[in-house]
Chains A and B, each alone.
Chain A
């Protein structure tokens, strides 16, 4: 290395690129030189994997016999990227590629470093018997997980690039045999029509794919479970993944999909049926109980048998305001409690629940601000809203509860039933990518199997 000649000049393209990317500290333009022959590397130090670069690109340069050998070595790398246009090169560099110039030829090789590829434990949808691993935040790892679980040659994966500033990859995954072409087309069209400046997570993508600004019920499902993804692939649905998010999107979905837990597939028939009935019971309870309380106490106390009516009325003795204020007051506090325990650090959230649930509850009844029965109803509602397996649906139902409550408060018992029918109608009229959101499925064995239309 003593007889180092003067540095050879890098190709014009590379120095231009370097100028374009400067003054970032991590832009490196390195000449590789061995006797007469030279190659140049241009990359961003913070985006590439140093070890990989050393082993794959730099070392072989000094081991090859000639430049021609090295060029063909580089050309046959599995990570090589096609250079479509010169304008695209800076973008590829920021994504973690290295630009190599050998003998007036340019090669782009992907040596990106990913720190987010650790697979996480399931957090949102835990099961007892099912797989315990969820997805990671790296799309390639996720695709690998899906490929590993669903080994059909008909599984197709298309990669699109977002047009926003993250330039994240979006994968559209589907089973060629079962998917409906019309739905696939709609999804592609909507993805290509996205024009938001920054999309960072699957949740955000879901909002933009919805097609409408004001939506109450989710028309795509967010999931973190690979087994749910495979299950839905088999049913002919389309999965959308975005790089950097540990969740996948499933489209189209129907209402009943949100009531299915993956656990249902791993248990015996009667146990599954029992839990399903339990879940629907929870759904109904959580939706109607507050409104029912208002209807029963304020409008038609005579519906119930005498003993029960007297108990309810007796427990409200001393409560100084009408029942709808009582219900609203307790429900709001319950929501605050739920919201607080979600957002707080785990160490504090236990205190919040104790203070809120135990102390506030008993103090409120002693102060005659609410009836004992109201406390029972509020806790029943809170518990049953957690029974819904998918969190988004649980949120939507929580919101619907207030609509029903308002309708009952204004119109009484008739409003209660009509409000319920109205919510039902709203769900039935809704569509998810052209599929009706809520209708009876008589023929399919499971709700998620198949989205047949008439």
Chain B
């Protein structure tokens, strides 16, 4: 597998912490979060395997092109639009959640519009870049920020305040029926591979997808889900964990670095995840933009040989996020993300079945 494919997967895996996944999982901690996590790891890995195999059949082609070539219009366009909505939603939820937590913990006096605007400005410039640059950006940000995150994770695990008894208690809740919502949220961490719908254009060689790759993806997914779910429990206990709005950020504030220049780990934590959230947002919205471009091609909207449509889309993205961050409340965001994560299994099913359809038609 190309190293860039791993980046796509790992970035989404790590970014789950700033996308309300822990909140939803911990909300269901006594009602079936653990079995749904098990299910998500197994099913998610299978999905990743199937998707890579399916895309392997079409090296160097993007999904919109494939769909338009082999399926009728009435089928292709709704599917593309649905996929666009999913990616736009994924980006939007990452953005709003991050802005909320930043306002809450980092800069409570700054206006929420200003913080969102900072994101929107840089992101608008970013998603208009070439797809290839996107992958390089993902690589560099991972190289810059992941060592920091690893360091923080080690701090989380070796700290004596982490009470393994809490974790053991939480593990007792394994004998429940899997909850659908928790399953959807846990499945989110495998969504990164779906970025291939656009980035497949850049991979002209076939990806090797054997046992080794499956094992790496499955195990890292399991490890990340374990960390996401159990570390906050280890610090805060099982009883009131469902009440916390940002369980991970609150947890990170219980660690001090005695001799560090920055004493409270929470600040490093938030800034490190800013990089990850940013790139995850960048990838999601870039895919969303490309999907939208493939649906609506305003060929007449031109200025000096440049297509204006992408710029208009980006402005619309920006306006939507500015309005929503102002209007939404914390509770509405939670239920919105809940519904979004609930739709992820459907998303995977739609994507895989349309790919299978394309493959069948192509063979005919």
Contact = CB atoms under 8 A, between A and B. Distances in A.
Interface of A: 299-300, 303-306, 308, 407, 410-415, 417-419, 421-422, 424-426, 428-429, 436, 438-440, 454
Contacts of B129: 425, 428-429
Given A412-B114, A422-B126, 6 more contacts: A305-B262, A412-B110, A418-B121, A418-B278, A425-B133, A438-B136
Given A421-B122, A429-B133, A440 B139 contact: yes
Interface in B132-172: 132-133, 136-137, 139-141, 143
Contact of A439 (B106, B136, B275): B136
B321 to A, nearest CB: 14
B86 interface: no
A425 B125 contact: yes
Contacts of B119: 414, 418
Given A414-B274, A417-B275, A440-B136, A422 B117 contact: no
Interface of B: 102, 106-107, 110, 114-115, 117-119, 121-122, 125-126, 129-130, 132-133, 136-137, 139-141, 143, 202, 260-264, 267, 271, 274-275, 278
Contacts of A303: 262, 264, 267
Contacts of A429: 129-130, 133
A412 B262 contact: no
B118 to A, nearest CB: 4
A425 B137 contact: yes
A291 to B, nearest CB: 13
A438 B278 contact: no
A8 to B, nearest CB: 64
B140 A438 contact: yes
A305 B259 CA distance: 9
Contact of A300 (B107, B115, B140, B274): B107
- B114, B133, B274, B275: which has the most chain A beta carbons within 10 Å? B133
Contacts of B263: 304-306
Given A303-B262, A304-B261, A439-B140, A417 B274 contact: yes
A428 B202 CA distance: 16
Contacts of B143: 440
11 contacts: A304-B261, A304-B262, A305-B261, A305-B263, A414-B110, A414-B274, A415-B118, A425-B126, A436-B136, A439-B139, A454-B202
B118 A414 contact: yes
B2 to A, nearest CB: 9
Contact of B106 (A305, A414, A426, A428): A414
Given A428-B133, A429-B133, A439-B136, A414 B267 contact: no
A305 B140 contact: no
B52 to A, nearest CB: 18
A429 B264 CA distance: 35
B121 to A, nearest CB: 8
A308 B259 CA distance: 12
Contacts of B141: 421, 424
Contacts of A415: 118
Contacts of B122: 418-419, 421-422, 425
A440 B139 CA distance: 7
Contacts of A440: 136, 139-140, 143
A428 B261 contact: no
Nearest to A303: B267
Nearest to B129: A429
Contacts of B136: 428, 436, 438-440
Contacts of A418: 118-119, 121-122, 274, 278
B48 to A, nearest CB: 22
B102 A424 contact: no
Contact of B137 (A411, A414, A428): A428
A299 B262 contact: no
A311 to B, nearest CB: 12
Nearest to B110: A412
Nearest to B205: A454
Given A304-B261, A414-B102, A414-B107, A422 B125 contact: yes
A308 B262 CA distance: 9
A187 B125 CA distance: 29
A101 to B, nearest CB: 55
Contacts of B275: 417, 421
Contacts of B278: 417-418, 421
A424 B136 CA distance: 10
Nearest to B202: A454
A255 to B, nearest CB: 11
A413 B106 CA distance: 9
A401 to B, nearest CB: 17
A428 B117 contact: no
A303 B278 CA distance: 21
Contacts of B132: 436
List the 9 shortest-distance A-B pairs measured between CB atoms, nearest first.
Answer: A411-B118, A305-B263, A439-B136, A429-B133, A429-B129, A422-B122, A418-B122, A415-B118, A303-B267
A440 B130 CA distance: 17
Contacts of A454: 202
Given A300-B106, A439-B139, A411 B130 contact: no
A306 B258 CA distance: 12
Contacts of A422: 122, 125-126
- A304, A421, A429: which has the most chain B beta carbons within 10 Å? A421
Contact of A308 (B121, B261, B271): B261
Contacts of A407: 118
A28 B125 CA distance: 64
Contacts of B271: 413, 417
Contacts of A299: 107, 110
A74 to B, nearest CB: 56
A411 B122 CA distance: 12
A416 to B, nearest CB: 9
Nearest to B203: A454
Nearest to B259: A305
Contacts of B117: 411
A299 B107 CA distance: 8
A249 to B, nearest CB: 25
Nearest to A436: B136
A306 B275 CA distance: 26
B272 to A, nearest CB: 10
Contacts of A410: 114, 118
Nearest to B115: A414
Contacts of A306: 263
A305 B278 CA distance: 27
Contacts of B202: 454
Nearest to B3: A442
Contacts of B264: 303
- A299, A422, A428: which has the most chain B beta carbons within 10 Å? A428
Contacts of A304: 261-263
A403 to B, nearest CB: 11
B145 to A, nearest CB: 10
